[in-house]
Amino acid sequence: QSVLTQPPSASGTPGQRVTISCSGSSSNVGSNTVNWYRQLPGTAPKLLIFTNNQRPSGVPDRFSGSKSGTSGSLAISGLQSEDEATYYCASWDDSLNGYVFGTGTEVTVL
């Protein structure tokens, strides 16, 4: 069961900016950092953004993250065809004493 809510889909044309929201609660996003993972079909998820807004080495600066209150957000600017994937947010949950993932957002490049 997913505790963090994301829109099921998002889309844009090449070059556009797409934003994905991640809604949680005080026990997870509200009191812990948000990480984002990207999953291509048939492959394992890969870390995209950590600690709300940090990019691992190798991730283009077209990807950015932010957090405000109990919600996180991922933005993809300059959308490219290779950005088609499913994106998941995740956070630690103090009540669960474990990890929680978002419901996932499938990004389509039109």
Q: Least distance from C-beta 74 to other proteins, angstroms?
A: 15
Determine contact, residues 34/28, Cβ cutoff 8 Å.
Answer: no
Binding mask 84-103 for other proteins (x = CB under 8 A): ----x-xxx---xxxxxxxx
Binding mask 24-43 for other proteins (x = CB under 8 A): --------xx-x-x-----x
The strand pair at 105-109 and 98-101 is best described as: unpaired
Q: Which is nearer to other proteins, 63 or 101 (CB)?
A: 101
18 binds other proteins (CB under 8 A): no
Determine contact, residues 104/9, Cβ cutoff 8 Å.
Answer: no
Q: Which is nearer to other proteins, 34 or 79 (CB)?
A: 34
Q: Which of 46, 59, 75, 84 binds other proteins (CB under 8 A)?
A: 46
Q: Three-state SS for 33?
A: coil
* CA-based nearest residue to 15, from 81, 78, 60: 78
Specify the residue for token string 């026990």: 27
Q: Concatenated DSSP letters for 41-60?
A: TTS--EEEEBTTTB--TT--
Binding site residues, other proteins, CB under 8 A: 1-2, 32-33, 35, 37, 43-47, 50-51, 56, 88, 90-92, 96-104
